[in-house]
Structure formats: C-alpha cells, structure tokens
C-alpha cells in the first residue's frame, strides 16, 4: 500500500514537471523570438565581398534597420535548386525569423549566383513602402551594378534606396506611378 502511494505521488509530480512549461508558454500569448538575431543582415555564401566591404555593408544595414524599425537584408547564395527566386526568398525570410515588429516589417534582396537570378521580397510595412511600381523603381536603381558584377556598390545602393523608400512611405508618399523617386 505504501509503495502505491509513493508511486502515485511521484507520478503526479512528474506530470506537473512535464506540463507546467507548456502551460506557461500557452498562457503568455507572446511570440517566441530569439534574444539575438541568428543571422547577420548580410549573408554571403559566395564570398563576393571582402571582409572590410562586408563589415561596412552590415553596419549600414544595421543602422538603417534600427533607425527605420524596418529590417533590411541582403543574402547571396550559390543556387536556387528547383525553386524560383521569389519562393526561395520568401521561405528564407520566414524560416530565419527576419523582420521587425509583430508584422515582421522588412525587405530581403536575394542573389543566386549560379542561376544569375535575384528576388526582392518585402513584408509587413514593406508591402506599402514597396508596391509593385516601387519594386520596379528599386530594381532600376541597383540592377545595373549587379549586371556589371559590382556587388558591393549594388548592395550599398540597394540599402540607401530602401532607406529612401521607407522614409517616403512614412510621410505618406510611397513611390508609385504618380510619385516616382527622384532621379
């Protein structure tokens, strides 16, 4: 009889230990976020930039992201595999918890070297700041540098343009057909 009581008490304690963390997590209603970013805002799997260039770009991306409260990212990969650049970029953004705030506000420029393809995807506030005309304008700004294999210049120009586009959107004037960016 005594062994049954001890076994029952141990089972109850073990049940509490197992279920308590799950109950607390469910009751908090908070999105589980890492305390620090898992990835830098510039990922260069192909080593296109020198260390100094990469550090300068990361500093710029970090500064713009913090000031604008809008996550700006550039990712260079070797190939897309069987996926399209847009799908790959969307998946990369989501799987790596990119974006700031509850709407995951941000933008990602993905460059796939083997495929010679790219994608720009925007989330949250970025869908307002980078409407379809805005996407086209943005591409016109940095693509000529990519076409000439001037990667550092292309990425820095992309970052500056994103900063400008977000600023324009914040004052209620996102770049579109009726409001093109200054030349």
* pLDDT at residue 82 greater than cutoff 70: yes
Is 35 a member of any domain?
no
Average pLDDT of the residues in 157-161: 98
* pLDDT at residue 15 greater than cutoff 60: no
User: CA-to-CA distance for 103 and 133, rounded, in angstroms?
Assistant: 22
Residues 17 and 55 in one domain: no
* pLDDT at residue 139 greater than cutoff 70: yes
Residues 57 and 106 in one domain: yes
pLDDT value, residue 124: 97
Stated pTM of the model: 0.80
DSSP secondary structure letter of residue 35? S
List b or e across 66-78, with b for residues whose CB sees 16 or more CB atoms inside 10 angstroms.
Answer: eebebbbbbbbbe
Is 148 a member of any domain?
yes
Beta carbons of 64 and 162 less than 8 angstroms apart: yes
* pLDDT at residue 23 greater than cutoff 80: no
CATH number for the domain harbouring residue 58: 3.10.310.50
Which 3 state secondary structure label does DSSP give 181?
coil
27-51 pLDDT, tens per residue? 333 333 344 457 999 999 999 999 9
User: CA-to-CA distance for 176 and 160, rounded, in angstroms?
Assistant: 18
Residues 47 and 137 in one domain: yes
Residues 67 and 153 in one domain: yes
User: CA-to-CA distance for 58 and 74, rounded, in angstroms?
Assistant: 9
| Long-range contacts of residues 168-176, Cβ cutoff 8 Å, at least 24 apart | 168/129, 169/125, 169/128, 169/129, 170/68, 170/129, 174/128, 174/129, 174/130, 174/131, 174/134, 175/131, 175/133, 175/134, 175/137, 176/131, 176/133, 176/134
Structural domain of 133: 42-170
The number of folded domains in the chain is 2
Alpha helices in 102-150 (DSSP H): 126-129, 132-147
Residues 64 and 5 in one domain: no
Residue 89 phi, psi (nearest 5) = -65, -45
Residues 130 and 71 in one domain: yes
User: CA-to-CA distance for 72 and 99, rounded, in angstroms?
Assistant: 8
Beta carbons of 65 and 72 less than 8 angstroms apart: yes
Residues 116 and 66 in one domain: yes
């Amino acid at each position: 009889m005594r062994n049954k009581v001890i076994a029952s008490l141990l089972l109850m304690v073990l049940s509490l230990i197992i279920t308590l963390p799950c109950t607390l997590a469910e009751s908090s209603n908070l999105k589980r976020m890492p305390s620090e970013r898992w990835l830098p805002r510039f990922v260069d799997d192909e080593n296109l930039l020198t260390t100094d260039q990469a550090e300068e770009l990361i500093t710029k991306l970090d500064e713009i992201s913090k000031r604008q409260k809008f996550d700006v990212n550039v990712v260079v990969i070797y190939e897309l595999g069987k996926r399209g650049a847009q799908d790959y970029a969307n998946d990369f953004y989501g799987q790596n918890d990119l974006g700031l705030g509850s709407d995951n506000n941000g933008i990602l420029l993905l460059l796939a070297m083997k495929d010679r393809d790219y994608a720009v995807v925007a989330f949250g506030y970025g869908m307002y700041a980078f409407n379809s005309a805005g996407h086209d304008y943005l591409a016109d700004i940095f693509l000529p540098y990519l076409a000439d294999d001037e990667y550092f210049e292309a990425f820095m120009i992309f970052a500056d343009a994103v900063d400008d586009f977000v600023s324009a959107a914040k004052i209620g004037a996102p770049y579109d057909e009726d409001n093109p960016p200054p030349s």
